[in-house]
Amino acid sequence: MSNRTRPLSPHLTIYRWPLTMILSILHRATGVSLSVGLIIFSVWLFAIAFGEQYFTFFVYIFSNWIGRFLLVVWTFAFFLHFCNGLRHLYWDTGRGFDRERVEISARIVVFSSLLLTSIFWLYL
């Protein structure tokens, strides 16, 4: 029996990726990223507890451009996850599900995440 007559599902490259789909994927990815960041934060606390030598090494690692980039990415991940979580809490009230409001709230989440990340790093 041959499966050649059955239609094939379109590949992901054919679909238009709406912002809401991207935010759904990013919400999960930022959750994983924040878990990794929590482990790094725990290592930082241990470095403080074990003494100046360990803390100095930790600061050395995160003071180059890769470390700073990771810190900015984790900050953006935090604010995106936070803002999207607020959006989901709003949805839990049963409001905001019409197509226009979903699209507007998605844009607000992206804009506010970028804004909060920028304000955070400019303040530091």
Cα–Cα separations (whole angstroms), residue 45 to 91, 94, 113 = 36, 41, 27
CATH number reported for the structural domain that contains residue 86 in this entry: 1.20.1300.10
Buried b (16+ CB within 10 A) or exposed e, 75-96: bbbbbbbbbbeebeeeeeeeee
For the stretch 4-55, pLDDT in tens is 677 677 776 777 889 999 999 999 999 999 999 999 999 999 999 999 999 9
Residue 11 lies in a domain: no
Distance (Å, whole) CA 78 – CA 40: 14
User: If 0-12 CB within 10 Å is exposed, 13-18 middle and 19+ buried, where does residue 114 land?
Assistant: middle
pLDDT at 96 over 90: yes
For the stretch 60-81, pLDDT in tens is 998 999 999 999 999 999 999 9
What's the pLDDT score for residue 10? Answer: 72
The range of the structural domain enclosing residue 58 comes to 19-123
Q: How many domains in the chain?
A: 1
